[in-house]
Amino acid sequence: MAESTLAVFDLDGTITRHDTLWPFIAGFLLRHPRRWWRLPLCTAPLLRYLVDGRDRGALKGAVIRLTLGGLTRAQLDVWSERFTQRLLRSGLYGEALTCIAAHRRAQAHLVLLSASPDLYVPKIAAALGFDECVCSEVRWRPDGTLDGGLATPNRRGAEKTRCLRRLLAAHQPLLAHAYGNSRADLEHLRLVSAGTYVNGRRRDVLDLPSVRAVRWSQRGDAGTLAARTSL
CA distances from 131 to 95, 110, 172, 187 (A): 20, 5, 16, 23
| 13 half-sphere exposure, CB direction, 13 A CA radius | 17
What is the count of structural domains for the chain?
1
Band of the pLDDT at 214, cuts 50, 70, 90? very high
Q: Mind listing the pLDDT tens digit for each residue in 136-191?
A: 999 999 999 999 999 999 999 999 999 999 999 999 999 999 999 999 999 999 99
Contact 95, 220 (CB under 8 A): yes
Above 90 in pLDDT, residue 193?
Answer: yes
Domain with residue 26: its CATH number is: 3.40.50.1000
Q: Which domain holds residue 100?
A: 5-229
The CA distance from 179 to 191, in Å, is: 11
Band of the pLDDT at 216, cuts 50, 70, 90? very high
Specify the pLDDT at position 229. Answer: 44
Specify the pLDDT at position 225. Answer: 54
HEC letters along the chain: CCCCEEEEECCCCCCECCCCHHHHHHHHHHHCHHHHHHHHHHHHHHHHHHHHCCCHHHHHHHHHHHHHCCCEHHHHHHHHHHHHHHHHHHCEEHHHHHHHHHHHHCCCEEEEEEEEECCCHHHHHHHCCCCEEEEECEEECCCCEEEEEECCCCCCCHHHHHHHHHHHHHHCCCEEEEEECCHHHHHHHCCCCEEEEECCCHHHHCCCCCEEEECCCCEECHHHHHHHHCC
